Amino acid sequence: MSTKQPLYKQTSFNITIDLKNILEVDTRNRYVRLEPMVTFGQLTDSLLRMGWTIPVVPELEDITVGGAIMGSGVETSSHKFGLFQHTCLTYEVVLADGSLVKCSKDEYPDLFYSIPWSYGTLGFLVAVEIPIIPAGRFVRVEYHPCHTQEQIIETFSSQIKKPENDFVEGLVYSRTTGVIMTGQMTNTADPLKLNEIGKWHKPWFFKHVEKFLKKDHAVEYFPIRDYYHRHTRSFFWMMQDIVPFGNHWLFRLLFGWTMPPKVSLLKLTQTEAITRAYDRNMYLTDMLLPLTELQQTMDVAHDAIRIYPQWLCAFKLPSLPGFIHPKGDEEEMFVDYGLYGRPTVQGYSCMENARDIEAFLRTIHGFQMLYPDCYMDRDEFRQMFDHSLYDKVRKQFHCEKAFPEVYDKVCKRARK
């Protein structure tokens, strides 16, 4: 795109937004077209002012649209809509030969289905179109405390089947305790139960939810933006390892506005010694697995890693071409099972335990998100992820000499 051209396209039915990188909002045809460096915080700020949102909004404000496509994006609405990639309408990609291609399920479909999880190894993503849907002003959140593993799984599994639930999420605090949350968008809220959880002085969300383990049942209302980005200030619960006193009421009152520090800044200022210590003592991954395998996976993770809290987020996985799909030909309900923090199992060894988890996921036809460290060799990686369409597209568009393979970008073995 020429820098001399106007950034925003004006038509009789488009609404222009004064935000760098957002190109066009079409309220008649209900889509937004934007550049990949737009963050979900920017996108929700802009769309919610107009009464619109998108089907899947990843929780952390600083995740970019491009990152959620080239990597992966999931939300508590994904039990209805699938992963973020499954909601995208078109991608505009600069290919290895410099040409610009717009692909969709009907136009260049092989490229369209290969872009997600490709990490920029098929071309440069420059624009995407995403559908927009009407947004409510609030989210009514209902808390369901659980006190056995069986109750956690049964409550989670039953709530994602209820059509009235726009959002379903689980936080697991121990092997036998957890809270399942359900949410519905609404334009009205009980003022006595309204909780602006996004305010700088409010408790971290996961700590706030933990209190409901001592109650039988509770309901709250969140402003919708606060709900979308409820895990941002505490970076789920990773901030408790970086700033142990971060949830103290006095720190929140005086310095809560500083949370969270930018992850990019932390990485930039991180010394080599800190990086090695972090690699040895922290574990960070999202496992994507069939819902039917959740109990077995929770048991394996408890024995091998033992990190709490844990995150549960269900998503539909359609039988479509690409890197990940169900084992059979039918759509299947999967779970994003998130482990973030310091393992507490005795004798923990980062590489050995991580490889055990990776091997287990391959046996149940599960997947590991590619943003954390990956310890698989190339054959194991290809066993986990379906490369058949990806290899075809790389050959078709002459990517081999222009871009590395995904494995070479994300796996430690390849980078050394």
Q: What is the CATH number of the domain that holds 111?
A: 3.30.465.10
Shared domain for 148 and 203, answered yes or no, is: yes
Q: Residues 37, 128: one domain?
A: yes
Count of C-beta atoms within a 10 Å radius of residue 139: 26
Cα 76 to its chain centre, rounded Å, is 9
| Helical packing angle, 350-363 and 272-281, nearest 10° | 50
Last residue of a domain, one of 90, 105, 134: 134
Q: Is residue 345 part of a domain?
A: no
Same domain, 61 and 179: no
Q: 170 with 181: CB under 8 angstroms?
A: yes
What is the pLDDT, as a whole number, of residue 276?
Answer: 65
**C-beta separation of 223 from 239 below 8 A:** no
With respect to residue 143, please indicate whether it lies within any of the assigned structural domains. Answer: yes
Would the pTM count as exceeding 0.85?
yes
pLDDT digits (tens), the chain, 416 positions: 333 333 333 333 344 444 555 668 888 889 999 999 999 999 999 899 999 999 999 989 989 999 999 988 999 999 999 999 999 999 999 999 999 999 999 999 999 999 999 999 999 999 999 999 999 999 999 999 999 999 999 999 999 999 999 999 999 999 999 999 999 999 999 999 999 999 999 999 999 999 999 988 899 999 999 999 999 999 898 888 888 899 898 988 898 888 887 766 666 666 665 566 666 678 889 999 999 999 999 999 999 999 999 999 999 999 999 999 999 889 999 999 999 998 998 888 888 888 999 999 999 999 999 988 889 999 999 999 999 999 999 999 999 989 999 999 988 766 66
Let me know whether 57 and 129 are in one domain.
yes
Inside any domain, residue 357: no
Residue 213 forms part of a structural domain: yes
Q: Tell me how far apart the alpha carbons of residues 60 and 229 are, in angstroms, rounded to a whole number.
A: 6
**First-residue to last-residue Cα distance in the chain:** 36
Is residue 296 domain-resident?
Answer: no
Q: Which two tokens stand for residue 42?
A: 């920017």
- Residues 31 and 130 grouped into a single domain: yes
Q: State the DSSP code for 325.
A: -
Are residue 129 and residue 88 in the same domain, yes or no? yes
Q: Do residues 130 and 142 both lie within one domain?
A: no
Split into its structural domains, the chain has a count of: 2
Q: Is the CB of residue 31 less than 8 Å from the CB of residue 4?
A: no
d(CA 409, CA 365): 23
120 lies in the same domain as 177: no
CB atoms within 10 A of CB 230: 25
DSSP 8-state symbol, 193:
G
Quick check: helix, strand or coil at residue 90?
Answer: strand
Residue 366 included in any domain: no
Residue 83 belongs to a domain: yes
Sorted by sequence, the CB contacts under 8 Å of residue 242 that are 6+ apart come out as 261, 266
Domain that includes residue 125, residue range: 14-134
φ, ψ for residue 33 (rounded to 5)? -110, 130
Residue 329 lies in a domain: no
Which residue, 134, 169, 204, sits at the end of a domain? Answer: 134
Which residue among 214, 246, 269 closes a domain?
269
